[in-house]
Amino acid sequence: MTSSLAREPALQLLLDRAEIHDLLMRYSFACDRREFDLMTACFAPDVGGEWTYGPIADRDALMDYIRGVARFHTTMHFMGNEFIEVSGDGASLQAYAMLLHRATRSDGSTFEHNPSDRLYSERLERRDGRWVIVERKAEPQWAPTGVTGVETSDPAVQWLLDRAEIHDLMASYALRVDQRDYDRVRACFAPGFRAVYGDHEFRDLDPLIEYISGVEHFFSTTHFYGTQLIEVAGDEAGMRTAAIISHRDRPDGEPEWAIAGRRYTDRLVRHEGRWLFAERAPDAAPVPTANPPRPTSDDPEVRVLLDRAEIEELIATFAIALDRRDFELVRSCFAPDAGEHAEGLIASLREELAPWRRSTHLLGNQRFEIEGDRASAETYALVNYQRAGERAATHWSEGARRYLDDLVRVDGRWRIARRRVEGPYYRDPAVHHAPAQED
């Protein structure tokens, strides 16, 4: 393993971001599995800050509070929109969370709490060679730039940096819309952009921002973006993204929750050294095959990052193909010898999707274990369905899933050898009123 002192700064930054991502995943998965020892290792002994119920004195006090989650029958901490900033041995992390809880009544039956949206804001430090959370709700100690301006001469590392910056752009856009920070929303668009939202087309920033500011009709909004497919070609890039947008209102003092699913196709350009939106539109472009070109590297650490990126996009391709009802593309995500298993899963997916007019599969938490030409991945997914026979944006229901994938490298490309689907949480309210506003 290369010493951190010998790595180029760009690669070190990417490795740090990957480790911090994995820390967040360990935290969320361990909480939902009640693996409290694993959770404890995510925090520094002197962790502090403001948590849900108030100030935290130290790690022992925090874990006493967290163990209270055991009173629920099932939980899912769905994470998304990560924005990670690294400066030496310090870092900040912001991430959205949708918290789903199922509780047990005294008679043994279960019931579901309304989802709860949160913004996690963490300060981290590298201690004894590993990242740990030291404070929650801490203001970043440096201006957030993500990976913007980081340079490298390695084409594979540059490809990874470009993907990271485009991911950061999407996360920043969502956060700024939800915070009503319209100046920073403006900064996400390139000169000469084109944006299509619903029946509205925009080529100037002022009317676009006026339209986006329609979110102020709601008490709060949370834009979860995920299931990203990113293709970079020089100073241009394309991105397909799924979004689930929760809106909360307080018409009579009580919060009213609604959820809407969206899919977008974005074209991006590198303008004055930064990736920006050149075009945003509803997703109608063909889904790429599961074999897009990839850079290669002789550096084992870079290869691991490239493998993670390829597996992430393979799982995203599978999800987008489901929403398109493109079962040939779904089939292409499997290894050739998956045969009977793949066909059985595809048949069950066809049956599950048949009653629904539309679906949006949003992928969130992901963790990977890679060993040679074999790997495993665990992914949380929120699935938003629109009922067949209904007009657009009227009745919705949504479910939460956990995908457990065994993967194998076949002819140099990662494929799914076997997938197990678990549904620890499912929600089907009578009516969700999804707003017509697209933002």
Q: What is the mean pLDDT of residues 119-124?
A: 90
Tally helices (H) and strands (E) across the chain.
9, 17
Secondary structure letter of residue 336 according to DSSP: G
Closest to 260 in 3D by CA, of 246, 250, 249: 246
pLDDT band for position 291 (50/70/90)?
A: low
Check residue 252 and give its pLDDT.
53
Q: Distance between CA atoms of 245 and 226, rounded to whole angstroms?
A: 11
Q: Distance between CA atoms of 162 and 150, rounded to whole angstroms?
A: 10
CB atoms closer than 10 angstroms to residue 178: 21
Per-residue pLDDT for 398 more than 80?
Answer: no
Closest to 228 in 3D by CA, of 391, 396, 364: 364
Strands 43-51 and 130-136: parallel
Check residue 293 and give its pLDDT.
67
Check residue 4 and give its pLDDT.
54
Check residue 112 and give its pLDDT.
64
Question: For the CA atoms of the chain, what is the radius of gyration?
Answer: 21
CB atoms closer than 10 angstroms to residue 6: 8
pLDDT band for position 294 (50/70/90)?
A: confident
Query: In whole angstroms, how far apart are CA 255 and each of 143, 178, 247, 248?
Result: 34, 17, 10, 6
pLDDT band for position 285 (50/70/90)?
A: low
User: Which range (170-179, 210-219, 289-298, 299-308) has the least confidence?
Assistant: 289-298
Which residue has tokens 């949708």? 98
Burial of 249 (0-12, 13-18, 19+ CB in 10 A): middle
Burial of 273 (0-12, 13-18, 19+ CB in 10 A): exposed
Per-residue pLDDT for 281 more than 70?
Answer: yes
Tell me the pLDDT of the chain averaged across its residues.
84
Check residue 137 and give its pLDDT.
73
User: Element (H or E) spanning 314, and its range?
Assistant: helix 300-324
Task: Assess contact for 82 and 94: CB atoms under 8 A.
Answer: yes
Q: Distance between CA atoms of 394 and 219, rounded to whole angstroms?
A: 20
Chain centroid to CA 315: how far? Answer: 12
Q: What is the mean pLDDT of residues 332-336?
A: 97
Percent of the chain with pLDDT over 90: 55
pLDDT band for position 255 (50/70/90)?
A: low
Q: How far apart are the first and last CA of the chain?
A: 45
Check residue 245 and give its pLDDT.
85
Q: What is the mean pLDDT of residues 157-170?
A: 94
Check residue 218 and give its pLDDT.
86
pLDDT band for position 56 (50/70/90)?
A: confident
Check residue 219 and give its pLDDT.
84
pLDDT band for position 236 (50/70/90)?
A: very high
**In sequence order, what are the residues at sequence separation of 6 or more whose Cβ sits closer than 8 angstroms to the Cβ of residue 51?**
62, 65, 136, 137
Express each pLDDT in 67-94 by its tens digit.
888 888 778 888 989 999 999 999 999 9
Write out the DSSP string of 386-407. Answer: EETTSPTTS-EEEEEEEEEEEE
Closest to 239 in 3D by CA, of 181, 320, 158, 182: 320
Residue type, 246: S
Cα torsion 279, 169, 396, 437: sign: negative
Which spans in 6-139 are helix H? 9-33, 36-40, 59-66
Check residue 114 and give its pLDDT.
61
Check residue 102 and give its pLDDT.
74
Q: Which CATH class is domain 1-146?
A: alpha beta
Check residue 383 and give its pLDDT.
86
pTM of the model: 0.86
Task: Kindly state the tokens that stand for 209.
Answer: 């921002």
For residues 135, 17, 229 and 99, what is the CA-based torsion angle, rounded to 10 degrees? -20
Counted residue by residue, the chain has a size of 439
User: Element (H or E) spanning 329, and its range?
Assistant: helix 327-332
In the sheet with 256-271, reading across from the earlier edge strand, the strands are 200-202, 189-197, 274-282, 256-271, 236-249, 220-233
Check residue 389 and give its pLDDT.
56
User: Element (H or E) spanning 103, and its range?
Assistant: strand 90-104
Which residue has tokens 């490309």? 413
Check residue 403 and give its pLDDT.
94
